Chain A
Amino acid sequence: MSNILKSRELPIVLIWIAVLIIFGDYFFGGTALRTAFTVLTVDWAVIITNIAIIVGALAVLQRSLNIARRERTEKVERFMQTWTVFLAVSIFVIGVTLGIRSSIYSWVYNYILLPSWQTVYTLIIFFMATASYRAYRANNSYAAVLLISGLLVLMRNAPVSSSIWSGFQDLGSWVLDVVNLAGTRAIMIGAMIGAISLLIKVLLAKEKILGE
């Protein structure tokens, strides 16, 4: 029995059921399929997605604890990983007991979490600046086209460009609305074909998508 439950095939059956319900409701309609579709998305998928976030968070904390417990981990790293777990647990307890609208929770969120997260996100601005000088060189025609289109859109995004020359807005918009549109459309259509082939491979158990 346990071998059957541990097999690869049973979860694939669940994928088949989910896909058939969704495709069936889309192509054939009917009350039964609509009800099945609603139950699948509204009840099952929403609840499982929310629990998946909890599991994902706990997996990160588990990894941090494992790193902290390892003997060969250096002291600083051990402290950092332990600090991560401590903060996660503390803020969870504060949030659940006092609520997210409490002054301490808001304080920690607005004055520590928010600026830290945003600052880490902005570090790349400086590296992009040095890359602009060192790496963004038009060594061949392809790189030249990439740079020219990037420059035109950069100039379009700069409000001052319309004061320098009105053509910057028009050219930048042309790059976005024609060149970028065509490229993105091709990528979209390609992604569509790729998604269908992925679905077929998953349904035929040719793709190891469930972490086997």
Chain B
Amino acid sequence: MDYATMLGETVTVLFIVMCYTYLIRETIAFRFVQATYVGLGIGHGLVMVWGYLTTKTIPAIMAGNVLLIFPFAMGLLLFGRLKKQYMWVYRYPLALLVGAGLGLQIMGMLKASLIDQVVSTMSVSLAPTLAGFNSVIILFFVIASMTYFLFTVRGHETSKVNPVLGNLMKAGQYVLMGAIGAGFAASFLGRLAVFMDVMERVVYFIPKLLGLM
């Protein structure tokens, strides 16, 4: 292992250990690691975006595509965000981004999140198979969850006011709890995966230094 790699692996393990001191309490070591990665992350992001602008946008403008000056100038108005008295300037490019973003999102969502989802929900199969059973269950669950979102019935949990709607809303709540439970398990898997990678760096550090790996 060359010296740069050896030093790098040592610094890595040091930073990892310093970061995990947070498990005892918020220490200066943890705050140092936090400040380091925030600073480096910001710098790295700036480098990448700078790279894009200097390899695409600015050369295109210099090569004669003068129309690009307008979006570039509009983008520069965003810097008004940094000074309170010029805050009004930054609303213009933001308005374009908001308009474009919302418009594109809704255009796509109309089919992807609404029409396709409703069609798929309504595609019920009454075949005596697991797929058929599941399709009926999904239809009921989606209607129940939507009922919970769209309607407000006072005292729905006791179902005294409107038994049918109240029970449907209760069922919807259970379905949403189920979905949230699945989401919790998924988020756990994600964090665990990164944790395994971090721990491998620590556990294999000494064998790597000794040239055993």
Contact = CB atoms under 8 A, between A and B. Distances in A.
Contact of A125 (B70, B103, B176, B191): B191
Contacts of B176: 183, 186-187
Contacts of B103: 18-19, 21-23, 199
B185 to A, nearest CB: 4
Interface residues on B, range: 35 or more
B181 interface: yes
Contacts of B93: 48, 51-52
Contact of B175 (A10, A80, A141, A182): A182
Given A17-B99, A54-B50, A211-B94, A175 B43 contact: no
Interface in A20-56: 21-23, 26, 39-41, 43-45, 47-55
A181 to B, nearest CB: 6
A116 interface: yes
A113 B44 contact: yes
Contacts of B106: 192, 195-196, 199
A26 B104 CA distance: 10
A115 B198 contact: yes
Contact of B39 (A91, A181, A192): A91
A204 interface: no
A122 B198 contact: yes
A76 B26 CA distance: 13
B93 to A, nearest CB: 5
B100 A18 contact: yes
B19 to A, nearest CB: 4
Contacts of A154: 185, 188
Contacts of A124: 191
A115 B201 contact: yes
A180 interface: yes
B145 A96 contact: no
22 contacts: A11-B92, A44-B96, A47-B57, A48-B71, A51-B93, A60-B38, A81-B35, A109-B44, A115-B15, A123-B22, A123-B23, A125-B195, A141-B174, A150-B184, A153-B186, A179-B175, A181-B138, A186-B149, A188-B117, A189-B146, A210-B95, A210-B98
